[in-house]
Structure 1
């Protein structure tokens, strides 16, 4: 009696997946690799140290300024802090020979920045958006003052405004003895001289912002307007400029902040002498100046903070509402 036995051949082993070493176990799909203790420590240091520095140098100092605005303190010993309530603000908004001229100069600073370098920056952005030759070179040249510190810009323009050997006086022939034009020392001219330097820097900033905004404009809209016989100005007025509305809001907020925080350029020029008083200069003079009226200087800083928040908060609210709708 014979028995037929059939032997099954062994099944071939599954080929390894491409990109995986043979013999290595496959990781199940959806498996998340847990962070090691070293990874957590690295993340904690990288995120914790900047956060602590930001809280200590920004939020703590801001809250301290708000509290000190209601006190009188000469900065020598904490036992000399005396609560005065709203006296600093009454003195500030009263018949003050320094505060209101500084407010006026800050308003002039904002008006000049919004009327001169902002439209010029938009004009440059429109020209560079046409992809002319060497557009990258032009962008770099116009944006270079933005990346330079304000102190360096102040030193450069000091050389330009120098009464003896300055470029402007040499061109207009006012560098001879008895015919000098003191652009920095004359209270009637120094504010406008500083504003020229500030506008030179602000133009490049506005150009970059508008260049980024023009990227959201559909080129086909301009082509359609050209086919309909619209001029370049009509296309800009009815198509391009309405599309730049979000960019215009950002430009307005940035310009207000630039006008309020203007300090280093004026300080380098003439340390806020007569004709160039600004709110930021008054804060510095009262807190670290000879008078050491820290409470009074903090009250001015609180006014600056309130004005800044009045501009920034509505912008943030509108931005968050758009994100929720989207």
Structure 2
């Protein structure tokens, strides 16, 4: 006689169920609330908040500045991080000391880093003081009349603050590269730069992929550094969510801008994964 009764879930499902519930409560519910704030009004579904966002001239300026920041900052960070990791790979004297010095910015908050660089670029800051000592007049680096120098100040601050994250990921990736490949290439006459290009960097691809996705998403979320240095004179997307939510008391438009940031982050991550995968398959 066949046994009847309710089927019990597989053991694997029971084991991951608490994690699924936790992740749903932590991420999915806020996402649903955010989408509701951006797309649902008192009378039902609406695009009024999206139109209000698009009609705001600060939104387009913020989008342009954020995109430009990513385009300029990410290549610089990866170039510096890879160069520092390659230097550390050669095991110089006091290598551990160099490593800890380079990762110090990881322990500094965004706002604190912005205030540090504010003391450098402000009108009576260290940079103008040094110029004055050699007989050069100071410059209003952070004035709204000088958007180029404002942008450069934000790039330098973010470069100092966040390159260490890429550096740590690259160093961790290099730990997993067998030295046999590098030594074999050297035996067959490959130069140092040929070994870097054809041996080390291809094996670093997974680490670089992770670092690229993380840094792009975090660059999209740049806020405190720019806020400390420039206020709203150099608007960025996350800064506009703060303005709409806290200053203009409009959480709906703020949620709409947050959805734009989320969409761009997801598209960037998917694009990086697709690009890396296609290059790997081609090779």
TM-score, length basis structure 2:
0.81
Q: Does 2:251 correspond to 1:294? A: yes
Alpha-carbon distance in 1 for matches of 2:132, 2:189: 50
Q: Does 2:197 correspond to 1:237? A: yes
1:67 to 36, 61, 78: 36
- Alpha-carbon deviations, 1:263-317, whole Å to 9, x = none? 111222233x22x10110111111111x212211111111111112223457789
Specify whether residues 185 and 127 from structure 1 end up closer, same or farther in structure 2 by C-alpha distance, changes over 3 A only: same
1:98 to 45, 58, 63: 58
Say whether the 8 Å CA contact 1:174–1:181 is kept in structure 2: no
Structure of larger gyration radius: 1
Say whether the 8 Å CA contact 2:209–2:273 is kept in structure 1: no
Alpha-carbon distance in 2 for matches of 1:295, 1:60: 16
Specify whether residues 89 and 252 from structure 1 end up closer, same or farther in structure 2 by C-alpha distance, changes over 3 A only: same
**Who is 2:99 aligned against?**
139
Alpha-carbon distance in 2 for matches of 1:174, 1:56: 58
Structure 2: stretches of 5+ with no match in the other structure: 1-16, 277-283
Query: CA-atom RMSD, angstroms?
Result: 3.0
Q: Does 2:266 correspond to 1:309? A: yes
SS of residue matched to 1:234 = helix
Alpha-carbon distance in 1 for matches of 2:272, 2:184: 33
Alpha-carbon distance in 1 for matches of 2:176, 2:268: 25
Shift of the alpha carbon at 1:135?
0.7
Say whether the 8 Å CA contact 1:279–1:300 is kept in structure 2: yes
**Who is 1:206 aligned against?**
166
Alpha-carbon distance in 1 for matches of 2:155, 2:134: 22
**Who is 1:10 aligned against?**
none
SS of residue matched to 2:103 = helix
Shift of the alpha carbon at 1:175?
10
Say whether the 8 Å CA contact 2:70–2:216 is kept in structure 1: yes
SS of residue matched to 2:57 = coil
Alpha-carbon distance in 2 for matches of 1:149, 1:315: 27
Alpha-carbon distance in 1 for matches of 2:181, 2:26: 48
Specify whether residues 317 and 63 from structure 1 end up closer, same or farther in structure 2 by C-alpha distance, changes over 3 A only: farther
**Who is 2:130 aligned against?**
171
SS of residue matched to 1:173 = helix
Q: Which has more helix, going by share of residues?
A: 2
**Who is 2:138 aligned against?**
180
Shift of the alpha carbon at 1:120?
0.8
> Which deviates more, 187-196 or 123-132?
187-196
Q: How many residues align?
A: 260
Structure 1: stretches of 5+ with no match in the other structure: 1-46, 73-80, 320-326
